[in-house]
Amino acid sequence: MSDTTPHLLSVEGLTVTFPSPQGAVAVVKDVSFRMSRGKLGIVGESGSGKSMTAKALMGLVPPPGRMTATHLRLGDDDLAGLNPAGWRALRGRRIGMILQDPKYSLNPVQRIGVQIEETLKLHGAYTKAERRAKAVEVLATVGIEDPERMYRAFPHELSGGMGQRAMIAIMLVLSPDLLIADEPTSALDVIVREQVLSLIDRLQAERGMGLILISHDLPMVARFCERILVMYRGRIIETIESSRLSEARHPYTQGLVACLPSPTSRGSDLPVLQRDPAWEQAS
Amino acid sequence: MSASILANEPRSRREARMRQLKTSIWRVLRNPSTFFGGAIILLLIVMAAAAPLLATHDPVATNLSDRLAAPGAKHWLGTDQLGRDIYSRLLYGAQPTLAIVLLVIGISAPVGLAVGLLAGYLGGWVEALLMRLTDIVLAFPRLILALALVAVLKPGLINAVIAIAITAWPNYARIARAEALALRNAEYVLAARGLGMGDAQIMTGQIMPALLPSVAVRATLDMAGIILTAAGLGFLGLGAQPPLAEWGTMISSGRDFIFDAWWVAAVPGIAILVVSLGFNLMGDGLRDVLDPKHHE
Amino acid sequence: MRGSGSVLKVLALGVITLAITLLGLLVCTFVIGRIMPIDPVVAAVGDKASAETYAAAREALGLDRPLYVQFWRYVAGVVQGDLGLSTASGRSVAEDIGRAFPATVELATLAILVGTMLGVPLGVYAAHKRNRWPDHLIRITSLIGYSIPIFWLGLIALLVFYAELGWVSGPGRIGTVYRYTLQEWSGFLLIDTLRAGDTGAFRSAFSHLILPATLLGYVSLAYIARMTRGFMIDELSKEYVTTARIKGASEARVLWLHALPNVMVPLVTVIALSFGHLLEGAVLTETVFAWPGIGLYITSSLFTADMPAVLGGTLVVGVCFVALNKLAELLYPLLDPRTRAT
C-alpha cells in the first residue's frame, strides 16, 4: 500500500472503553489500520472486539461506552470530532452496515419498501415517486426477481437470503463509500451464504465501495478479502494478506490456520489452540 | 496456564449454593428498590408484632370528651369521632393488614400455582377446562367480584380474605401455566421422563421449583394490590368490622369529618400508601434481581 | 396470505371462547345469587306473608322449578335484557343500570384518555432517559399512582381542591340547580348540556367531572406509563433499532416511529386492562364523589341487600370487561402484520 495514495478510511489509536466496578475496561485497544476501496476482513473469536470496532467506526458505541481515537478519517472528513448530528448525516449516506440476522435486524411492522425509503428520506429531498422508483430499482439490483412484490412485503414473509438482500438494498440505496458487513452470512444456510457473498462481491466491484467483512469464519474471509486483520482480546495482533495466510507470524493466527481441517491433515487429530496470556499485551 | 483463574471455583455443591445465596442477598440489599421496600415491610411487621408495646392507648377505648382532637402531645396523631387514639389504632391496624396479605397469598398462590402447573403440564382437556375457569374469574374486575362475594358471605375479616383470595388465584395460574407449558418440553424434563419418573414426580420435583421465582415475584407485586382491595372493602364497610382497627375502615369513619378533622381520614391513608409502596418496591426490586435481563 | 378458510376458523374459535366465557360469567352470578342467605321470596312478599302468598310468590318467581330450568330462564332473561327486579326500588334492574351506566362511562372514558395520552409519552420518555433523573421521577410518580388508595386520594383531593381552594365543585354530577332542567339525551352530561346550549350547566357538569376524572386518570396513567416504559426498554435493545440508527435516524425517530409501533400490541392489551381497573376504581371513586354511576349502584344495592341489583351490576361490568379485552384482541391484526398471516 503506497502511503501517497489517499486512503478511504484511516484509523489510528481507536479505543473503546466501558466503565466497570474495577475501573475502565478497554474492549477495543489501540486499533490502527488503513484501507482503500478494496475488501478488508476482520477476523476474531467472540469477545475479540471486532463488532465493537465496527460500531465505533459508525459512532454507535452504546452508552456508557466511550470511544477515543488519535485519528479517524473517512476520505477527507475527520470523524473523530463529529457531533451526533454530524454522525447522523454520515450514517446511511457514506457508511452503511449490514447486520447478521434479517429476522431481527429488520423492523417487523414496516414493509420492506418503507424501510428502504427511510434511508432516502433521511438524507435527501426526494419526492414520493422518486423514492419508490429508487427503492424498486435497488431491489432489482440486489437480485430480487419480483421487486414490486418485495416492496410491499413484510420481513416475516421473507426467507433468510431474501431478508439479507433486503438489508443490503436498504444500506446500498444511497451508494455509500464504505460498507461494513458484520457476520452477514452466519445466520444463513450454506448455499444461500455463497449467493449473498457473491452478491456483495459484485456490488462492491460495481460501485467501487470499500468493504469491511467481519467474521469468525477465517476461510471465508480469506477467500473473499484481499487483506485480513486478526483481532484478539481487543487488539489487532496481525495484519496479513489473504494469499499469504500460511506465512502468518503471530502464534494465534498460526494456531487458527492450523486448526482448519484440510485434506492433508486427514486422519490425524486436529490441533487445539493453546492461548498465551502474553498475546494480550501490545506487540 | 496460571492456576489463579481456577482458584475461585467452589469446592462442593453446597459451597456453590452458599455462594449463590450470598450473592443474591447482597444484590437484594444493594438494590434501592428492594432495600427500601424491605425496610417498609419490616416496619409493618414490627408495627403489627409490637403494637401492644408501642401503642400509647387502648385502640378500642372510647373517650367522647376527647373526640376529634387534633394531633398533639397527648394523642400523637389525634383522635377520631369516638375519642379513640389514632396513633394506637394505626399500630394495631397493621395486624389485620398483615394478616389479610399473608392469608390471601397463602391461599391463592398455592392454589393458582397448582392449577397452572396442572394445566400447563397435562394439557388437553384439563388445560382447556382450567384455563376457561381462570378466564371466567379474571373476567370480573377484582374489587367488584370481591364485593359480590362478600355480599353473599356477610361482611367480616375472614370473609374478606376468602373473597379476595378467590379473585387472586387466577393470576398465579396464568403465570404458572405459561411457564409449565414452556418447560414441559425442556430437555431436563424429557431426561427425567426417560429415567422413568412419573408425572407427579416431574411436576413437583422438576417443574415446580422452576416456577417458584416468578410466582414469588408476582406474589410480592400482588400484595400491594391485595392491601388496596382490602382497604377498599374496609372503606365500604365490608371488611373488618368495628371496633377492630383496620385502616380502610378508619378512613371510612373519618370521611364524615374530612373537612373539619382531616387527620382522622388522612393518617390511615398515608399508612396504606406507604405499605403498598413498600410491597411494590419490593416486588419491582425482586424482579430486577431475579431476572438478569433487567440488570442495569 | 393463507386461505380464508383459516380466517373463518380463527373467528369461529374466538366466538366460541367468548360465548363460553360469557356463559361462565352467567353461571357465576347465578350461583352467587342462589347461595345468598336472604330468601328472595321473603324479600318480595315480606316476612309477615301468609303461607299461601309465600307459595304463590315462590311459584311466580320460578323458584320451585329444578335448578337447571331456573338457570335456563335466567340466561334467557339476561339475553333479552331482563336482569330481574330490584328489591329495593321495585324497578327493573336493567332500567336502573341503564340510567347509571353512562355516568360511569363518561368518567372512565375521560380518565382513560388522560391515562393514555399522558401515560404513553411519559413511558416512552422514561425509557429514553433510562436511569437518569426524568426516568426516576416518572417511575416514582407511577409507583405512587398505583400504590395509592383511590378512595383516600379522592377524599384528600376533595378536601384540598373543593373545600380549601374552591377550584372545583364537590360531590355529585352536576349542581342541584341544573339537575331538574337537564334534558338527558345520551346520558353523558358534557354532551347533553352542550346540545341544549346551556353553558352554565356545562360548566357545572365539567367542574364536577374534572376532579374524579383527573384522579382516575392519574391512576391509569401510572399503570400505562410503567408498562410502556418496560415494553420500550425491551424494544430498544433489539437489532432493528440499531439498523435504524445505522441509517442515520434520530433518537426521536427511533423511539416514536420504530420502537413504539412495535409495542402497540401489548400496549393495547394494557390499555384495555387499565379500563377494567378503572371500572374497579370507579366503584370507590363514585362512593366518595357521590357519582351516580354503576359503582355507586352496586355498593348501595349491597347495603340494602338488593341481590338482583348487585348481581346485575356485577354481570354488566364483567361483560364490559370481557368485551373490552376482546376488542383489544381484534385490534392486533391491524397493529402487527405478523398476526395477520394464518
pLDDT digits (tens, 9 = 90+) for A141-186: 999 999 999 999 999 999 989 999 999 999 999 999 999 999 999 8
When mean pLDDT is compared across A138-147, C48-57, C253-262, the lowest value belongs to: C48-57
pLDDT category of residue C1 using cuts at 50, 70 and 90:
very low
* 8 Å CB contact between A180 and A54: yes
- Above 70 in pLDDT, residue C5? no
Query: Half-sphere exposure of residue A176, counting CA atoms within 13 Å on the CB side?
Result: 31
Can you give the pLDDT at residue C37? Answer: 63
* pLDDT score, position B109: 92
If you average pLDDT over residues C152-170, what whole number do you get?
A: 89
- The nearest alpha carbon in chain B to C20 belongs to B132
Separation of alpha carbons B58 and B69, rounded Å: 16
Using a CB–CB cutoff of 8 Å, tell me whether C215 touches chain B. no
Residues of C with CB under 8 A from a CB of A: 238-240, 242-250, 258, 261-262, 264, 335-338, 341
Q: Which chain C residue shows the shortest CA-CA distance from B133?
A: C24
Q: What is the 3-state secondary structure (H, E, C) of chain C?
A: CCCHHHHHHHHHHHHHHHHHHHHHHHHHHHHHHHCCCCCHHHHHHCCCCCHHHHHHHHHHCCCCCCHHHHHHHHHHHHHCCCCCECCCCCCEHHHHHHHHHHHHHHHHHHHHHHHHHHHHHHHHHHHHCCCCHHHHHHHHHHHHHCCCCHHHHHHHHHHHHHHHCCCCCCCCCCCHHHHCCCCCCCCCHHHHHHHCCCHHHHHHHHHHHHHHHHHHHHHHHHHHHHHHHHHHHHHHCCHHHHHHHHHCCCHHHHHHHHHHHHCHHHHHHHHHHHHHHHHHHHHHHHHHHCCCCHHHHHHHHHHCCCHHHHHHHHHHHHHHHHHHHHHHHHHHHHHCHHHCCC
In chain C, the percentage of residues whose pLDDT exceeds 90 is 32
State the count of interchain CB pairs (< 8 A) between A and C: 72
The verdict on a CB contact (< 8 Å) between C336 and A108 is: yes
Pick the closest to residue A98 from A207, A194, A204, A181 (CA basis).
Answer: A181
Give the whole-angstrom CA distance, residue A251 versus residue C36. Answer: 85
pLDDT grade for A52, boundaries at 50, 70 and 90: very high
Chain B residues in contact with C151 (beta carbon < 8 A): 231-232, 235, 251
Name the residue type at position B76: W
Residue found under cell 408495646: B53
Residue type, A168: I
Percent of chain A whose pLDDT exceeds 90: 59
Residue labelled with grid coordinates 481507536: A14
What secondary structure does DSSP assign to chain A, as a single string? --SSSPPSEEEEEEEEEE--TTS-EEEEEEEEEEE-SSEEEEE--TTSSHHHHHHHHTT-PPTT-EEE-SEEEETTEE-TT--HHHHHHHBTTTEEEE-S-HHHHS-TTS-HHHHHHHHHHHHS---HHHHHHHHHHHHHHTT-S-HHHHHH--GGGS-HHHHHHHHHHHHHTT--SEEEEESTTTTS-HHHHHHHHHHHHHHHHHHT-EEEEEES-HHHHHHH-SEEEEEETTEEEEEEEGGGGGG--SHHHHHHHHHS--GGGTTSPPP-PPP-GGGGS--
pLDDT at C149: 93
Report whether pLDDT(A135) > 90: yes
Which of C240, C245, C261 lies closest to A60 in CB terms? C245
The closest alpha carbon to B95, from B55, B53, B49, belongs to: B49
pLDDT at C49 over 90: no
Distances from the Cα of A248 to the Cα of A29, A242, C224, angstroms: 21, 10, 59
Q: Which residue of C has its CA nearest to A106?
A: C240
How many Cα atoms sit within 13 Å of B147 on the Cβ side?
34
Distance from CA of A158 to the nearest CA of C (A): 12
φ/ψ region of C120 (left if φ > 0, alpha if ψ in -120 to 50, else beta) reads alpha
- C residues 21..80 contacting B (CB < 8 A): 21, 24-25, 27-29, 32, 35-37
State the Cα–Cα distance between residues A52 and A31, nearest whole angstrom. Answer: 11
Give A120→chain C minimum CA distance, Å: 9
Q: C302 and B149: CB-CB below 8 Å?
A: no
Q: Nearest CA of chain C to the CA of A89: how many Å?
A: 6
Contact between A104 and C262 using a beta-carbon 8 Å cutoff: no
Q: Which residue has the cell 421422563?
A: B193
Smallest Cβ–Cβ distance between C242 and the set A89, A93, A99 belongs to A99
Instruction: Give C-chain residues touching B296 at CB under 8 angstroms.
Output: 131
Task: Give the residue from A184, A4, A27, A216 showing the smallest Cα distance to A97.
Answer: A184
Q: Give CA–CA dist C302/B236, Å, rounded.
A: 10
> Of A116-125, A251-260, C208-217, where does mean pLDDT reach its minimum?
A251-260
- Looking only at the bridges linking them, the beta strands covering A210-215 and A95-98 are unpaired
Q: Which three cell numbers stand for residue C137?
A: 421521577
pTM equals 0.84
CA C203 vs CA C102, C109, C154, C164, C172: distances in Å: 19, 18, 21, 20, 14
Cβ pair C287:B272 closer than 8 A = no
Q: Which residues of A touch C250 (CB under 8 A)?
A: 88
The pLDDT, as a whole number, for residue C189 is 81
- pLDDT for C2 beyond 70: no
The shortest CB-CB distance from A91 to any of C239, C246, C338 is to C246
Q: How confident is the model at residue C342 (pLDDT cuts 50, 70, 90)?
A: very low
Contact B152 C37 (CB under 8 A): yes
Residue with the bigger pLDDT between A101 and C342: it is: A101
Give yes or no for residue C65 having a pLDDT over 80. no
Pick B112 or A276 by higher pLDDT.
Answer: B112
| Cβ contact A170–C240 (<8 Å) | no
Task: Measure the CA–CA gap between B238 and B159, rounded to whole angstroms.
Answer: 9
C147:B296 CB<8 A = no
pLDDT band at A1 (very low <50, low <70, confident <90, very high): very low
Of the residues B44, B135, B144, the best mutation for testing chain C's interface (the one with the most C CB atoms within 10 Å of its CB) is: B144
Which chain B residues contact residue C143 at CB under 8 A? 277, 280-281, 284
- Cis bond before residue A84 (omega within 30° of 0): no
Residues of C in contact with A110 (CB under 8 A): 258, 261
Confidence of residue C6 (pLDDT cuts 50, 70, 90): low
Q: What is the pLDDT of residues C278-326, one digit of tens each?
A: 888 888 999 999 999 998 998 888 877 777 888 888 888 888 888 888 8
Res B3: pLDDT = 42
Nearest chain C Cα distance for residue B197, angstroms: 35
pLDDT value of position B271: 94
CB contact under 8 A, B143 and C322: no
- CA C302 centroid distance within chain: 19
Number of neighbours of residue B35 by Cβ within 10 angstroms: 15
ipTM of this predicted structure: 0.89
Residue found under cell 457514506:
A94
Each of the 296 residues of chain B gets a pLDDT tens digit; together they read 444 444 567 777 788 888 877 887 787 788 888 889 999 999 999 999 988 888 888 888 888 887 888 888 888 888 888 888 888 889 999 999 999 999 999 999 999 999 988 888 888 888 888 888 888 888 888 888 888 888 777 788 888 899 999 999 998 998 888 888 888 778 888 888 888 888 788 778 878 888 888 888 888 888 999 999 999 999 988 887 877 889 999 998 888 888 888 888 999 999 999 999 999 998 888 877 776 544 43
Contact A107 C262 (CB under 8 A): yes
Rounded Cα distance between A203 and A98, Å, is 13
| Contact: C144, B273; criterion CB under 8 Å | yes
pLDDT at residue B216, as a whole number: 85
Q: Confirm or reject contact between C104 and chain B (CB < 8 A).
A: no
CA distance B170 to B167: 7
Residues of A in contact with C334 (CB under 8 A): none
Rounded to 5 degrees, what are φ and ψ at B256? -70, -20
- Compute the nearest-CA separation of C262 from chain A (Å): 7
Neighbours of chain A (3+ CB pairs under 8 A): C
Higher pLDDT, C302 or C214: C214
Chain C 298-337, CB below 8 Å of chain B: which residues? 298-299, 302-303, 305, 307, 310-311, 313-314, 317-318, 321-322
Query: CB C250 to CB A99 under 8 A?
Result: no
Closest residue on chain C to B296 (Cα): C131
Give the chain C residue nearest B288 (alpha carbons): C230
Query: Does position A4 have pLDDT exceeding 60, yes or no?
Result: no
pLDDT number for residue C124: 96
Which stretch of A202-206, B110-114, C114-118, C332-336 has the lowest confidence by average pLDDT? Answer: C332-336
pLDDT mean across residues, chain C: 84
Q: Is C119's Cβ below 8 Å from some Cβ in B? A: no
